[in-house]
Structure 1
């Protein structure tokens, strides 16, 4: 085994690798850019070395700088994590030439599988099912349209060197094929330095299911079952799980066998993932092979009991795999939720800023529950525009899928994040959906379930009661401190109670809430219906409230005190809940409703980012859907379009401008 390991990455994956390396007694060396001077991976490593400016191309993507650090620190091996240089064959070759071990597959395997055109040809020759498509290079958008029409719409336009959802577009007609080709090629050039594009058939109602493979240098190749990664937005995975709720044993065995055959065909070593698209009849087709550790590897670790990072290190050190295919057992179910600095209320656009509050749920491991949080941030840290917006990966395991989902829902309720926009409410909302709980997934899940965008969850009746009850009990806690409660004797025991009108949207609930001392037994009468709770834990200043009903698991709500009541966040909802004396609530119908400002005459920048291109000029008349400008944020290009026919009266920005969220870009007048 190695004595020293350099991690050529950052964020949560660098921290994850450091954790295993330290357990194995390996000295860890981190590298960092200007933006990551105070990053968590820098603090966790035994040694950390600065490698350049914040832009990845000048730091984490610089092969020469990383090799120089290896030589200066005596690093015997390099683990690339995922992203950056992890699938760059030139990096693997440069390390080998310098006598440094690359913790990953051979450079030839990376090159073969990293090019999507070449990989599909190799897969077909190895007997792996492939999607119909055009594997040759495409010269221009006219040729792209011609090829798309010959395959038949819809088609997927993809960068040959792509990954992580970048350089990918779905086209349903010729116009989308032209624009998708241009956008995919532009993103591919800026993200990978390679603008080659290919086109393949887009499988409708598809599931994205991948097989984890492991191979050593002694001819042993196995698979560790599958991961379901169908819930995606912009081709980027959001929620993953293992095993898939859809596969049967026969399909799992067939997919695993083909994945192993492909790994053998390219002389693979280390951990890798073979990705498939699966239709409703369980027909599966090869998409690509990722020659690295996957973001979602924790769910495989939890259902197999294996440490994939450790196995990668042992294979790289020349050891044999310690298990065969017959030894692989999938036990229980694991769910992973990717927590991103993205605002789901703004179509998941990136968010940046300082993490004013970052309190993940406590990690735990028992025979019936695992809660794990892989992260690379800390409270007070900065989410910058330079890198991926991931904050953490929250993972739960339980003996059954529904138990794992419920564990995830509770863990998300206990996860506190403030300071940046984030997708916690969306993740919580998905956990509550019947369709998700039934395992009826496709890669179009988000678009199908939230066709108008995400606007928060709609709570079931029982959840609604929990919010009203929590507001009422917190209201009684505050009232008692202020000496504004009533008291009575019930069977010789003192009862402390108050009456409130609790407002949720347009609904007003008359509530009587009481606590019986001693013991803290609670009674909440909501519009004549009595609910009893055994405990309620919250005090002014607390951010989390725990409510326990009889014979049920406790509910955790994020609860912040406001002037007239509380802000309550629970299971994907984010509500302002006034808690008022009944005589005050009776006056609400007389209060004027403040109209929101009319912003229809302005184009506001929807996310912090840089203007790539401005497509219109002052005086132009634009039609609905016409592109106005392109803004790049966190390595993704976002096309901003006209919402209706209008004239451009003023353009405030130019290409290259760096904008804040909601900054005015253009003004419109009627035509």
Structure 2
């Protein structure tokens, strides 16, 4: 691998303007003067080396296809990504800066210097970062470097939500009612919200990915939502313009994948259902949608292609719609880039979207014809995030992956990841670990494949959202296809909680734990006494699970362990390896998969069963009898202790020592990965301690404020 050292770029003071870092916009009026109909007359670019201006799984994804096409690849990386997977996969690598995105992946000048130093002839932006930055595309054009994406004009016009809505109307696309202008301040936001009628959606004009978006159902929420949305928008996009539109209750989020070339041709590749979201960010996507009929699908596809042709769009793009319960659909926005969820479209159409993007960027005409593109089967994508699903459906979690083992992929399964064992998930970038994609003949089969893979997905060192993903995939409404963008709050209420175990699941856990204990005990005694000494084969145990105690008798032979719990008998097939975290066995002939998370000398076993971590305590019969003499620890009241729910940076502290605060009062704002979370009091009282100030970095469960 060739290494280009650009360390001097970020150690020296460069004349970098903030609008270039975050994507300033040209005048909307300027672009209205440009006609974009018909073929684009331009010099046909030819390139054999492409620089990927991104990181993580999408960089790995692009590198894989580029290599298949014989195109050499160059990876850029920040200091914290020096040993990242995408850096190892590429043919060449270039160090571009420090950990902050503004010092590296968002820094236009440093990216272009990397292009020059590596001799790259093209840049693929992936998604996020500079993928929808018109200034970046213009800078590449001035350098004579091909951009694997649309023109700067298309990015500018579709990047501005007001202009994109006007163009959508002109192209005959259905749109959501709203205010045709920029909201000036909080008071203006409240005024316009009352004119439109609550509920309303407050969102960043230059936004995307759920950042800078708030729902308001009254004046107070409109006032607060405007301030928070503007702050997030400025931090994420360098643009704090806010717009307002009618919020459609319980809609579906359905998007149409499009491809256009530089000769005026455009096609759609059907839809993706992206309704399962938290904080306006997608969690599970599937293609096709369970909700659309052929007529609606065709109409949405035709309108998406019409918009594509209206703006002279070339490359891969996505036209997003909100769809109400009567299948009325409304234009939401157009993403002028590759989407995170593009693999499910690839699965059902057999079309490699990255390959098409590279071909179009090289000046090739689309060979795809609309009537030749068909839907084959069903695909589901589950986004695996480093986050705690029990906190607001997923607050970020950071840490080192001391154990990472992707599931064995059956036919039709795909795992797109950008990490490997030993990697560290930091607060600087997106929390995504991987995307698990299942393709099968029908929806139920795709769900079953996903569940099996999730059960054998080993992630250690930080919290992750597999428990939530797995629960959704087995939930009654999801299985019926009865979903919408408010699915999580409607299904789980205020927060996700561990699902109660059925009696059969409890005895499965107890049986497996007993068998593990016997295997562990035999191994330890063999190590101590030698292999020739006869080991124990029978045990009497007491196993505790969820404050219930089970008396268990075991008989272990070479092939099986017989477990007796009361009047029930369970035969467990031996052979699982105590070193392997995955336990694959059979209980009375039925296959079962669990994971052994940990085993303590005290007798506590932690098992992951159907996505949930379960604790079981194993005691010998004698130890169980003595247990009743152990004192119980008193419970501590934590209602007056405000802890950080996640790692992040303190953006604001809204109280001081001696202040009286009421229940529900906002006390502090923590930001992680450009998302802001407001912490409020769970009790009333006087502030005794404030342990943080604005700008401090905090970890999960750090004590921030104490009341008395």
Normalised to the residue count of structure 2, the TM-score between the two structures is 0.88
Equivalent positions of 1:121-136 (< 5 A) are 121-136=166-181
Residue 576 in structure 1 maps to residue 621 in structure 2: no
CA deviations 1:30-77 (Å, max 9, x no partner) are 111112112111111110011112111121111121112212222111
Residue 665 in structure 1 maps to residue 700 in structure 2: no
Q: What is the aligned counterpart of 1:202 among 247, 254, 257?
A: 247
1:39/1:631 CA distance change after superposition, 3 Å:
same
Residue 387 in structure 1 maps to residue 429 in structure 2: yes
Equivalence for 2:599: 561
Equivalence for 2:16: none
In structure 2, distance between residues paired with 1:79 and 1:332: 30
Equivalence for 1:139: 184
Contact kept? 1:425, 1:573, Cα under 8 Å: yes
In structure 2, distance between residues paired with 1:279 and 1:556: 40
Residue 459 in structure 1 maps to residue 516 in structure 2: no
Equivalent positions of 1:422-441 (< 5 A) are 422-441=464-483
In structure 2, distance between residues paired with 1:371 and 1:17: 18
Q: Match of 1:29, SS? A: strand
Segments of 5+ residues of structure 2 without an aligned counterpart are 1-45, 527-535
1:324/1:573 CA distance change after superposition, 3 Å:
same
In the TM superposition, residue 2 of structure 1 has moved relative to its aligned partner by 2.7
Q: What is the aligned counterpart of 1:419 among 461, 474, 495?
A: 461
Equivalence for 2:675: 636
In the TM superposition, residue 5 of structure 1 has moved relative to its aligned partner by 0.4
1:458/1:334 CA distance change after superposition, 3 Å:
farther
1:86/1:512 CA distance change after superposition, 3 Å:
same
Residue 546 in structure 1 maps to residue 588 in structure 2: no
1:173/1:475 CA distance change after superposition, 3 Å:
same
Q: What is the aligned counterpart of 1:361 among 402, 407, 413?
A: 407
In the TM superposition, residue 560 of structure 1 has moved relative to its aligned partner by 3.0
In structure 2, distance between residues paired with 1:496 and 1:604: 48
Equivalence for 1:377: 419
Equivalence for 1:236: 281
CA deviations 1:111-142 (Å, max 9, x no partner) are 11111111111112211111111131111111
In the TM superposition, residue 261 of structure 1 has moved relative to its aligned partner by 1.1
Q: Match of 2:83, SS? A: coil
Contact kept? 1:137, 1:196, Cα under 8 Å: yes
In structure 2, distance between residues paired with 1:434 and 1:514: 39
Q: Match of 1:133, SS? A: coil
Equivalent positions of 1:71-150 (< 5 A) are 71-150=116-195
Equivalence for 2:691: 652
CA deviations 1:471-522 (Å, max 9, x no partner) are 12222323444569xxxxxxxxxx95544333211222333444555xx255
In structure 1, distance between residues paired with 2:374 and 2:699: 50
Q: What is the aligned counterpart of 1:509 among 550, 560, 571?
A: 550
Normalised to the residue count of structure 1, the TM-score between the two structures is 0.93
Contact kept? 2:50, 2:123, Cα under 8 Å: yes
CA deviations 1:539-592 (Å, max 9, x no partner) are 333311112256755434345323314211111221111233345435555544
Count matched residues. 653
In structure 1, distance between residues paired with 2:619 and 2:290: 46
Equivalence for 2:636: 597
Q: What is the aligned counterpart of 1:10 among 19, 30, 55?
A: 55
In the TM superposition, residue 200 of structure 1 has moved relative to its aligned partner by 1.0
Contact kept? 1:475, 1:565, Cα under 8 Å: no
Equivalence for 1:156: 201
Q: Match of 2:301, SS? A: helix
In structure 1, distance between residues paired with 2:167 and 2:235: 27
In structure 2, distance between residues paired with 1:245 and 1:595: 51
Moved more, 591-600 or 632-641: 591-600
Segments of 5+ residues of structure 1 without an aligned counterpart are 485-494
Equivalence for 1:500: 541
Q: Match of 1:378, SS? A: coil
Point out 4+ residue stretches in structure 1 off by more than 6 angstroms.
Answer: none
Equivalence for 2:27: none
Contact kept? 1:542, 1:559, Cα under 8 Å: no
Contact kept? 1:10, 1:41, Cα under 8 Å: yes
In structure 1, distance between residues paired with 2:372 and 2:561: 52
Contact kept? 2:537, 2:555, Cα under 8 Å: yes
Contact kept? 1:432, 1:571, Cα under 8 Å: no
Contact kept? 1:456, 1:572, Cα under 8 Å: no
Alignment RMSD? 2.1
In the TM superposition, residue 617 of structure 1 has moved relative to its aligned partner by 2.1
Q: Match of 2:381, SS? A: strand
Q: Match of 2:390, SS? A: helix
In the TM superposition, residue 624 of structure 1 has moved relative to its aligned partner by 2.3
1:129/1:397 CA distance change after superposition, 3 Å:
same
1:304/1:447 CA distance change after superposition, 3 Å:
same
Equivalence for 2:234: 189
Equivalence for 1:490: none
Contact kept? 2:255, 2:272, Cα under 8 Å: yes
CA deviations 1:319-349 (Å, max 9, x no partner) are 1223211121212221111111111223322
Equivalence for 1:316: 361
Equivalence for 1:473: 515
1:596/1:43 CA distance change after superposition, 3 Å:
farther
1:580/1:283 CA distance change after superposition, 3 Å:
same
Equivalence for 2:314: 269
